[in-house]
Structure 1
Amino acid sequence: MNTETLKGKLAFLREAEKLKDVLRSGHTSSGRAESTAEHSWRLCLMAMAFAEELAPLDLLKVLKLCVVHDLGEAINGDIPAISQAAHPDKGARERHDLLTLMAPLQPPGEASLGLHGELLALWDEYDAATTPEAQAVKALDKLETMLQHNQGANPADFDYAFNLGYGRKHTGTTPLFSALRELVDADTRRRMAPLRGQGASR
């Protein structure tokens, strides 16, 4: 057991705590702005809830990817899903921020080894989405976002229609994700129905 290594991990965890204060554009069912840490927590819970349907994927790898996928947002925050098309450098920025966050895990002049190397490899795997596990987390990430949009007590001008086109590239990759997509889209349409009625009555 190396004391300096332990100190580095504690320093990293202190920095990662900032993710609890990074707010997203969606709201909880009580109307409070959702944090990125809360989104990542329910993403992990989704992976566990659908573990049987996700077999034979490596569930531990899936959970690690869920935990790491938005970790870089602890530095410069979240770009709302509806605004991401205007930020083509989002991935590069988040990777840079992740490296900043993980600095306490890497002694100066040393290669990316240990936890530092593992976290970076997981983030790169998620970003590239070339493995079945990363593709599953990409799909679940989109579905969790949409689920929260539908469940939240959002502002009156919240754009629920955005859900219907969001993340289709990732949610159509397997029968499971397609089925979940249909269910969540139905929720979106139900959420939109009263808003259409209000528009018609004006």
Structure 2
Amino acid sequence: MTGRGEAEPEIAAYLAFFRAAEALKDTLRSGHTARGRPESTAEHTWRLCLMALTLEDALPGVDVGRLLRLLILHDLGEAIGGDIPAPEQGTDKTADERADFLRLLAPLPDAGRARLLALWDEYNAAATPEARLAKGLDRLETVLQHTQGANPPDFDYEFNLDYGRTHTDAHPLIAALRAPVDAETERLARLRGRR
């Protein structure tokens, strides 16, 4: 039994993980909010989860609980290594982010660490319908944010027209949601003289 104010080792491990994951709130992405503030990865993840919950009735056969778990974890490694904007990503991004994710998971008990890592790997391999849908939602949320954010004058809207197309086109609902977002992206690219 530990003394007053001392946490049991397992409790201390969970708290260490939760404290480390808090860094995702300060991990900034390339997009901006409608008011012009850089968006955090935690905010991106929140809206992804909101999208999945909202679309649940239109996703028959999808395990939305599993989808939410994948969405919550998919960018968690960025709490250590930060976000790399898609146009700047190299070939080792997934390996680097997995290593960061493993560092973040280090305090957790073996079973919890293995369970979370398996979900992260499932997402990155697009190994299940839920993982493929998670990737599509991730790309959709990104291009949606770029259309409503107050981005810098040199923001490359044109890049978004092809970004993640394979993933968003893989599900008819996500493709239908993306069509008007692409139309808005094209409009913004024309306004900026980039199209």
Category of TM-score, reference length = shorter chain: over 0.9
1:55-91 residue CA offsets vs partner (Å, 9 max, x unmatched): 211010000101000000111101101212xx10111
> What amino acid is the match of 2:141?
E
- Map residues 131-150 of structure 1 onto 2, 5 A cutoff: 131-150=128-147
Structure 2 counterpart of 1:104: 107
> What amino acid is the match of 2:64?
L
- Map residues 1-202 of structure 1 onto 2, 5 A cutoff: 3-84=8-89, 87-106=90-109, 112-113=110-111, 115-196=112-193
1:157-179 residue CA offsets vs partner (Å, 9 max, x unmatched): 11111110100111111211221
TM-score with structure 2 setting the length: 0.93
- Runs of 5+ in structure 2 lacking a partner? 1-6
Runs of 4+, deviation exceeding 4 Å? none
How far residue 3 of structure 1 moved from its aligned partner, in angstroms, is: 2.4
Corresponding residue pairs, total: 189
Q: Quote the Cα distance in structure 1 between the aligned partners of 2:13 and 2:159.
A: 41
Q: Secondary structure at the residue paired with 2:127? A: coil
- Runs of 5+ in structure 1 lacking a partner? 107-111
> What amino acid is the match of 1:3?
E
Paired-residue identity, %? 57
Deviates more, 1:68-77 or 1:185-194: 185-194
How far residue 190 of structure 1 moved from its aligned partner, in angstroms, is: 2.3
How far residue 7 of structure 1 moved from its aligned partner, in angstroms, is: 1.1
Q: Quote the Cα distance in structure 2 between the aligned partners of 1:73 and 1:50.
A: 26
Q: Quote the Cα distance in structure 2 between the aligned partners of 1:17 and 1:178.
A: 33
Q: Secondary structure at the residue paired with 1:165? A: coil
TM-score with structure 1 setting the length: 0.90
Q: Quote the Cα distance in structure 1 between the aligned partners of 2:147 and 2:114.
A: 37
Q: Quote the Cα distance in structure 1 between the aligned partners of 2:60 and 2:190.
A: 36
